[in-house]
Structure 1
Amino acid sequence: MVRRKRKADAIVELCSDEIVEETGIVDGEPTGGDLVRAFSFVTTDTDTLLKNDINTSDMNEVKEDDIKVSPEIADNRKLKTIRNDKTPAVDDEPLDLQRNYKIRKSTARMLNEIKAAHPNVNVYMNTIVDAALRHYHNYIFNENGEFH
């Protein structure tokens, strides 16, 4: 079966004869009603224009000698050498193993408090967990601590 193409619907065009809702913004001179307030972007007062031209020449001009340029401009491409997902090495030992553990909400809250109190604002959570496990390992095996 062959599909027959339908005739395109008649395009309804707006015409100046139709009633158009007025938004209150009139382009050009207002045609009717009482004018409450009018404004214009064009200044017709030539004296005001001349005053503005004179005032602009009195302004302080910035000279190239006054601009201080630092010879050490930071190159953002070289500032960050570590990817976002890679934790930097601790004691020259890379953190290359990935394990997943489930923890309680209260433990996660404690980890976040430790991270917030850490002197390094950009510390990785992996670094904090690594230091905590090493501290606990040292406590158990070297200081004869007890398991809880």
Structure 2
Amino acid sequence: MLAVAKGARVIIIFVSDDKLSRARKLGASELINYVRTPDWDEAVNTLTHGEGVSHVLELGGPETYPRSINAIGAGGHIAQIGVLTGFGPRPDIDRIRSTNASIDGITVGSGDHFREMNAFLTQHDIQPVIDRVFSFEQAGEAYDYLQSAKHFGKIVIDLAS
């Protein structure tokens, strides 16, 4: 886990205890099941003694964005990676302004960033977490599996098979 290798205290929020257990084995410090704890932003703020977190990887979209904004600390950063709950109303960002936090959309980095990341992965012997590998002929099944959200880690489509 990149964040753990960089010395971060990692708080993971997942839907299932199985995925949380796997995240713990990868070095996550704190675990929150968002089904049992729907107000996970409040739990995050409790864990950080009201300071909030420095970084949020926002995957959910309109259903989770307000909670991510509430969990961010002063000067923090929200990385908008996905929009799993679809598109909808825009969140109230007043708290972002008042905490001097920021939001950036994340797509793909530069070639230099890719090389730096790979050097870091090699230096720290970090292996990617691969849930399943599908053959090219199974690409449709791979996308169905991705949509099911049952995976933990990457889903690979092997073009060489």
TM-score interval, smaller chain? under 0.3
Q: Which has the higher helix share?
A: 2
TM-score when normalising by structure 1? 0.17
Higher relative contact order (CA 8 A, sep 6+): 2
TM-score when normalising by structure 2? 0.16
- Structure number with larger C-alpha Rg: 1
Q: Which has the higher strand share?
A: 2
